[in-house]
Amino acid sequence: MMKKRIAMIFVTIMLFTCSSLFAFAEESSFTVISPTITSSSSIVYSDNLLISIKVAQGKNLLINLYYYPETTYSSAGAIKSTGVLVSGPHSFTSNNQLNFFTTQVNDIKHGLYCLSIDTVDAKGVIIDSEKQYFLTKGKQDEAPATKLFDNEVSNAMQFFQNLFKNIFGN
């Protein structure tokens, strides 16, 4: 009985060790922090584009940013048009424990962009490639879409509050 239990514990530990090893093996060599592209939104509201990528130690990356002035799609929905290189190629090698690659593109034209990140080995051969597409739009700077303050009501309320405060004191 005791032997069985020890065997069970041993197997469980082995399973966890293996899964964590696999997790490390599949860990990406980089994380894109900016532009913020989530599964629900790939629109960036900005006139200036900051690119910030957190890079794991000992990795070589090749980073390019493409802009698509006119976008055409195939029947399957894939982008057919050719992108124009607006920033790059940036070669970045991460030597420290913590590494961030950062660059900025000011006064961008709004439209479709592609951030292309290639992982390169010591010989300069691309071993992995990732592309992130996103749209940029200008931010509306007029009055907020949803009213932050209800002026009229609060003004009237405040008027009476101030009036009563003046009469009766605080």
Partner 1 sequence: MNKNKLKDKVQSIVLVVLFFSTILLLYFLWEGSSIRSLSLPTDVLFPAETAAELPEISTLIEPCIVQVNFGSDSYTVFSANSNALWSSFIEDYNKFSKSENVFIEEITSQQWEESMKFKSIQYKFNYALPFSEYFESVGSSKVPQFDSIKSFSIIAYSLASKVSLFVYDSVTDKYYRLISEKDRTSLSAQIDALSEVSHEQYYPINSFFGVKNDTLLPFAVKTSLRSIPTESEMYNLDQHTLNTLAEDFYGESLDFIRKITEDDGSIIYMYGYGQKILRFQKDNMLEYKEELTASSYVETSYLDALSIANVFVATHGNWSSLEGDSIVPYLRSAEGFTSDKKTGYRFNFGLKQDNYPVFYEEGAPIVVEVFGSQVSYYKRQLFIPTSLGLEPSTLEIYPIMSVLPTQYLTIRKILYDSGVPVEGFTSDEVFNSIASHITGVDTCYFKKSGDGVNTMIPAWIVCFSNLDIFFDLYTGEYLGYSDDRRR
User: In this complex, which beta carbon is closest to partner 1, that of residue 1 or of residue 167?
Assistant: 167
User: In this complex, which beta carbon is closest to partner 1, that of residue 68 or of residue 100?
Assistant: 100
DSSP 148: S
CB of 159 to partner 1, least distance (A): 6
DSSP 79: B
User: In this complex, which beta carbon is closest to partner 1, that of residue 33 or of residue 79?
Assistant: 33
Q: CA nearest 50: which of 112, 100, 105, 89?
A: 105
Do the Cβ atoms of 62 and 129 come closer than 8 Å?
no
CB of 96 to partner 1, least distance (A): 6
Two tokens, residue 128: 């992995």
3-state DSSP percent of the chain in helix, strand and coil, to 5: 25, 40, 35
CB of 8 to partner 1, least distance (A): 30
CB of 101 to partner 1, least distance (A): 10
User: In this complex, which beta carbon is closest to partner 1, that of residue 45 or of residue 73?
Assistant: 45
CB of 104 to partner 1, least distance (A): 5
Chain-centre distance of CA 131, in angstroms? 12
Binding region for partner 1 (CB under 8 A): 31, 33-34, 36, 45-48, 50, 52, 54, 96-100, 102, 104, 106, 138-139, 141-144, 148-149, 151, 154-155, 158-159, 162, 166, 170
At 85, which amino acid appears? L
User: In this complex, which beta carbon is closest to partner 1, that of residue 72 or of residue 104?
Assistant: 104
Distances (CA, A) of 68 to 29, 39, 83, 101: 27, 21, 5, 23
